[in-house]
Amino acid sequence: MIETFAQKNNIILNNLHKVIDPKKNTMIRFDRMSSDSYHLLSDLRKIKVGGPIFDLNLVGTVHMLISNYLKKIAMNKIIIQTVDQSDLANIIEAQKYLIKNIENPFPSIAIMANRANMSESKFKSLFKKITGATPNSFFMDNKLLLAKELLENKQLSISQVSDRLHFTNNSYFASKFKEHFGMMPC
């Protein structure tokens, strides 16, 4: 289906055959979910199920998820290596911890590595291998996505969002927001 979707939409992926080889069963393997995909699904969960609005959002979300996956294929960001199951579980717990504490300042790498029972270098290396991002950039990306959501709700000002999410100042928040989304917060 991925191959048909790519062909139907004129998406040229030079390494697609490596990923969807049925003899190797390469399509079925653990892969990381991008922050964008996570937030697409979170946004979909906020919509009341049923009706044309939900149906339209569902179709759009599915297309965006497929698009995100095809981008990973095109950019060779598919995990092929395996990771020890306990290390994988510890990194997933670290991700959960960061998301749960997204409104706080970034905890140090030393704290995160200690929570995961790893050295700092092993933690940073495995975190990047599994998530595709450094711990700090994973945290910042998710913090900025929350900031965007808070601003879209129009209940908090830019200054309030910056303070709530513990940015050092409003101009730093605005610059990070612009760097991530390509526009100033409003």
Question: Which of 40-54, 94-108, 169-183 has the lowest average pLDDT?
Answer: 40-54
Confidence of residue 124 (pLDDT cuts 50, 70, 90): very high
Q: Indicate if the pLDDT at residue 15 is higher than 60.
A: yes
For 19-70, the pLDDT digits (tens) are 666 555 444 344 556 667 777 787 888 888 888 888 998 998 888 887 777 7
* Residue 30 pLDDT: 44
Rounded alpha-carbon distances, angstroms, from residue 130 to 17, 32, 34, 71: 23, 6, 10, 17
| Structure-block tokens of residue 109 | 């790498």
Task: Kindly state the average pLDDT of the residues 5-23.
Answer: 68
Q: Where are the domains of the chain?
A: 2-74, 85-181
Angle subtended by helix axes 170-181 and 135-152, to nearest 10: 100
Q: Quick one: how far is CA 64 from the chain centroid? A: 13
Q: What value does the mean pLDDT take over residues 159-181?
A: 92
Q: Do 81 and 17 touch, CB atoms closer than 8 A?
A: no
Cα distances (Å, whole numbers) of residue 18 to 6, 7, 68, 118:
14, 16, 18, 33
Q: Whole-structure pTM over 0.85, yes or no?
A: no
Mean pLDDT of the chain: 82
Higher pLDDT, 71 or 159: 159
Domain 85-181's class?
mainly alpha
More confident residue, 141 or 28: 141
Position 162 pLDDT exceeds 80: yes
Give the pLDDT mean for 146-158: 90
**pLDDT given for residue 119 in this prediction:** 94
- What is the pLDDT at residue 73? 66
pLDDT score at 31: 53
